[in-house]
Amino acid sequence: MPYILVRGNLAAYGQRYPWRVLVSGLKAGDIEQLNRFASGGYCDDSTIVYMQHPCVILTALEVLGYTVVASSSTSVKQDYNEYMWTMRREFAEPDPATISPIKESEKAPLEKGEVYTTMEIPASLLMSSGTYAYVAVKASVHASDSSVFGLNGDEIKALVKRFSDYRKGVINGVLLKACPLDVVNALGQLGYRVVATTGEAEVIWTMQRDL
């Protein structure tokens, strides 16, 4: 099955609510590769629950060869007109300096389109907050502030220095006093590109792996 579904809610995560991501359509080999994550078991025959942040699961699935091709939400908060942009990191500028470019030896398999479904996922990649490939931006196009989820500490420093006012009062994220387009463009300078946009609620990501 080349397509899978990933469901999660950024707004509900924090000390009062556990992380909860539902993934449908995974093969047995993929599930085995993700067994390092705490699981809440199956909610149906094809859907497994992971007690983890969506950005972490999306990044882990990226390592297994899946990429986001579409997203939607189960409901849209029309009263607030909030939207969420899912962004994927493709490259990184020298700042933050801790992000190193991909080595030529690592690029070769990617350029050939090779996908290794039995590859070992390093624990440092999945458990470290500094290696996410996906982040999420939540805001209203009519508002003057935006929330960003999934950035690591160095990326937050590189992002907030571009804005005069920010605070970390958002669960698992940072709040910037800036319109969403300014924030999305700033993240573009850090190497992120928009791959999906949806109304803010419980979000469903559709991911594809080339066979």
CATH assignment of the domain containing 66: 3.30.1410.10
Nearest to 84, CA basis, from 132, 141, 156 = 141
Q: Return d(Cα 73, Cα 197) in angstroms, integer.
A: 10
Would you state the pLDDT for residue 122?
Answer: 43
Same domain flag for 136 and 205: yes
For residues 62 and 202, the model is more confident at 62
Q: Return d(Cα 86, Cα 89) in angstroms, integer.
A: 10
What range does the domain containing 80 cover? 3-89
Would you state the pLDDT for residue 48?
Answer: 92
* pLDDT tens track for 78-92: 444 566 667 676 644
Same domain flag for 148 and 204: yes
Residue 6 has pLDDT above 80, yes or no: yes
Q: pTM surpassing 0.75?
A: no
Residue 121 has pLDDT above 50, yes or no: no
Residue 85 lies in a domain: yes
* pLDDT tens track for 134-144: 888 888 766 77
Please identify, among 33, 68, 89, the residue that sits at the C-terminal boundary of a domain.
Answer: 89
Nearest to 71, CA basis, from 180, 182, 200 = 200
Quote the number of domains for the chain: 2
Same domain flag for 80 and 146: no
Length of the chain: 211
